[in-house]
Amino acid sequence: MDGSPSDQDGPPPPTPIIHILRPHHIGILSILMLTFKEEFETRALSAPFLLHVYRILLYEISEVAEPKPWHQLIREISSGPTGDIGGARYDAQYLIEALKDVHIDLRNADELTLFLQGVPMLFSERDDEPAVFTRRSPFGFFCRRCYITFLKLSIVGVVRLQRDYQAWRHGDSKAGYGDKPLDRLNNDSFLFRTKHDLEQYATPDAYAAFEKARDVADVSEAVECLRRYFEQCFHYQRDSKYRQHTLIQLVRFYYQRREFAAAKDLLDEAIETARRANDKVSVEYCKTLKARMPNKEPGRRPALNPIEPNVHPYEVLFDVKKLMQVEFEQPLIASFERIVEVIGVFDQWAEQENTSQSDAEQWGQHAVQSLVWKAAGCTRLGDIEENIVIAFTEVASDDNNRITVLLNRAYKEARQGKYVEALCMLLEPDVWRGLAMSDYELWANEVWHILVLRATRRGQVRLFREYLRPKRPMGVYRSRDYFLELRGSHSSKIRDPLHEVIYSLNCGQGTSSVEPLLTSLWDSEFQCRFGSYRTGVTLLADVCMEFGMTKRPKRILQDIMPQIINGDDLEQRALACFTMARCLIAAGDADNPGLEEAVEYLDMAEADYATLEMYVALAKVQYLLAVVYNSMGREDARNAAAERHRDTSEILLVNGGDALDNEVHEIWTLVTDVGAALSMR
């Protein structure tokens, strides 16, 4: 084999086209000579022991793994069944003892030459006697190949082989396994050369170096390794016809790094190169990659990929992301229809023998389904799809499906107030251990968003401004998701109007936000985004109270409350309960028994806001609860609610002045250390 044997885990190198006589070949030939030549003449070895030796040697000559050291090979042979043969002259125990000392006396090139000249006895027929191995058997082919390679060696090559073999027998695993140049000027090991001995054929080492550089985000090294890989000799034709693959790999590399301008420039060149090479598959793949690129024209809808024989199922699955964009103005039913089409395309690809695919690809549609179900407001169905991906994908791997699902689940847990559980989920070593740097950026960005979510809900504004905001990693960030402000970029025609309504209600100008609210309600209902629709209905009831309505808001919330009360979104339930309590209070007088029902809703809202640590909203609920208790004449409950309100106000005052949180600092230090460790792999 061309590579040196090692104990490192990972796929073995492929069998080389050029056969070079290595030290472990001499060891295998020694075992074949002592075992099967003598056994062919005496028939003294037991069948179980012979079967054991067959299995070991078949694995070795197939070269599907790194060659074993000599002592390990002998130890495996010695572990076979060595039963008592009786009066046999050549039993298994004698063979094992002979193998331990075989060819220890190959002190010069002449002795090695004499040994190799005896190899033809294993596969040559003499005087109508059958050979030990037939010429086309695995062992016969191995012996013939080694013998022919020996015939091509020069005296210098034989001397070098003898020296390497002695070093290998004494434990030097690298002796004789280094790569040597094949030209006549720098390599004098061959006396006779074939055309295969004059050219260094392609090896995967450069591509492995490219993948490593890609994972650690080393751009210059990745480009150089990719160039060296595709500049190798793959065949004897003048044009390798692989240049388009070089460009495609670079496009994928820049796309993963979100350098879309560089990816687009190379993509046009890759399409032209693939067309000149008449590579239809690469042309179709380049077109699908081009459809992934973001459009610079505002308001232009992205194009969907046609379902064709050469279009990969993942490219069709990427259309779901386009369909889920609010600006695309398509209901989520279209996304589900596309997922069904993807399943059919994937099944069709799985039935074709000429298409390459991995087991991890089949879980992509489950990861996408989890997102679509949650966008539709069906959180528990989304959890089921996430569980499927987590259960069947490899732990501590670079599978993007797994890390995407884990990031989504962690942020969902954080939105439910389980900040510690969410951070523990992401900081688990099995989550980040195998990440590429592109996925590490997503991971670090999600950890940062969870820290920002907790800080803004707690009212730690100074901590965000002085510590978290300067450390924001690369990724998407919308300030409107965390702060009640109108500035910032617009991202959604459903969420942005709701944000404006909340801002107007907070300023006491809810009556001026009817139009954006109704627009958001229409879009969310048409696009089947029922999570946003429920929030919009809750805000609609609040706006109705701004207009002096008392009965209508209560009926609106009573219709939507069964969908909210189960607690799939605690913040949404807390807002709905707080609004319902205000509706019940506004609908009657102080003696109205509806106040008891309002207290129940306020207690639920208080518990939810306390779980979420949203202290500003919690203080408002506790203040209203104290007022209701006072109207009902329950002084003890009023005093307790007032005491809780005071404690909450003190917490807000302390949190507002914190510029540094030791826990946040330790978490972010760990995130940076993980990034440094991953980049140094």
Percent of the chain at pLDDT exceeding 90: 35
Q: State the amino acid at position 398 in one-letter form.
A: D
Query: What phi and psi, each to the nearest 5 degrees, are found at residue 408?
Result: -65, -40
Q: What is the pLDDT of residue 521?
A: 93
**Domain assignment of residue 344, yes or no:** no
SS3 (DSSP) at 201: strand
Query: Residue 86: is its pLDDT beyond 70?
Result: no
Angstrom CA distances, 649 to 229, 383, 656, stand at 64, 36, 11
Q: What number of helices (H) and strands (E) belong to the chain?
A: 31, 0
Q: What is the pLDDT of residue 9?
A: 46
- Yes or no: say if 495 and 525 are a contact pair by the CB < 8 Å rule: no
Please, is 294 exposed, middle or buried when counting C-beta atoms within 10 Å of its C-beta (0-12, 13-18, 19+)? exposed
Which of 63-72, 94-103, 371-380 holds the top average pLDDT? 371-380
Token pair 């302390």: residue: 654
Query: What phi and psi, each to the nearest 5 degrees, are found at residue 16?
Result: -70, 155
> 665 or 77: which carries more pLDDT confidence?
665
Query: Residue 7: is its pLDDT beyond 60?
Result: no
Q: State the amino acid at position 462 in one-letter form.
A: R
Closest CA to 290 of 268, 273, 318: 268
How would residue 419 be classed by pLDDT, with cut points 50, 70 and 90? very high
Query: Residue 606: is its pLDDT beyond 50?
Result: yes
Q: Whole-angstrom distance between the N-terminal and C-terminal Cα of the chain?
A: 26
Mean local confidence (pLDDT), 35-41: 63
Q: Which residues contact 302 (CB under 8 A, 6 or more apart)?
A: 291, 295, 322, 325, 328
How would residue 527 be classed by pLDDT, with cut points 50, 70 and 90? very high
For 557, left (φ over 0), alpha (ψ -120 to 50), or beta? alpha
Query: Residue 189: is its pLDDT beyond 70?
Result: no
**Domain assignment of residue 293, yes or no:** no
3-state helix, strand and coil shares in percent for the chain, rounded to the nearest 5 = 65, 0, 35
**Domain assignment of residue 239, yes or no:** no
**Cα–Cα distance between 443 and 473 in angstroms, integer?**
10
**Domain assignment of residue 154, yes or no:** yes
For residue 123, the Cα-to-chain-centroid distance in whole angstroms is 50
Query: Residue 49: is its pLDDT beyond 70?
Result: yes
Q: Report residue 104 as tokens.
A: 């220890």
How would residue 185 be classed by pLDDT, with cut points 50, 70 and 90? very low
* pLDDT tens digit sequence for 279-303: 888 898 898 998 888 877 766 788 8
84-91, long-range: CB within 8 Å, 24+ apart, which pairs? Answer: 85/44, 85/45, 85/46, 88/42, 88/44, 89/42, 89/44, 90/38, 90/39, 90/42, 90/44, 90/45, 91/44, 91/45
Mean local confidence (pLDDT), 550-557: 89
How many domains, in total, are found in the chain? 1
**Domain assignment of residue 139, yes or no:** yes
> 177 or 407: which carries more pLDDT confidence?
407
Q: Report residue 114 as tokens.
A: 């004499």
SS3 (DSSP) at 126: strand
- Yes or no: say if 540 and 386 are a contact pair by the CB < 8 Å rule: no
DSSP code, position 173: T
Mean local confidence (pLDDT), 211-238: 78
Q: What is the pLDDT of residue 5?
A: 43
**Cα–Cα distance between 252 and 215 in angstroms, integer?**
12
* pLDDT tens digit sequence for 569-596: 999 999 999 999 999 888 875 556 778 8
**Domain assignment of residue 109, yes or no:** yes
**Domain assignment of residue 35, yes or no:** yes
Q: Which residues contact 335 (CB under 8 A, 6 or more apart)?
A: 320, 323, 324, 372
Q: What is the pLDDT of residue 73?
A: 86
Query: Residue 431: is its pLDDT beyond 70?
Result: yes
Which of 63-67, 353-357, 479-483, 557-561 holds the top average pLDDT? 557-561
Query: Residue 88: is its pLDDT beyond 50?
Result: no
Domain that holds residue 39: 23-184
Query: What phi and psi, each to the nearest 5 degrees, are found at residue 201?
Result: -80, 165
Angstrom CA distances, 141 to 20, 54, 236, stand at 15, 15, 26
SS3 (DSSP) at 129: strand
CA atoms within 13 A on the CB side of 295: 11
Query: Residue 3: is its pLDDT beyond 50?
Result: no
Of 352-361, 364-373, 453-462, give the lowest mean pLDDT range. 352-361
Q: What is the mean pLDDT of the chain?
A: 84
Query: What phi and psi, each to the nearest 5 degrees, are found at residue 195?
Result: -65, -25
Of 85-89, 247-251, 315-319, 546-550, give the lowest mean pLDDT range. 85-89
Q: State the amino acid at position 508 in one-letter form.
A: G
**Domain assignment of residue 563, yes or no:** no
Q: What is the pLDDT of residue 4?
A: 43
- Yes or no: say if 173 and 4 are a contact pair by the CB < 8 Å rule: yes
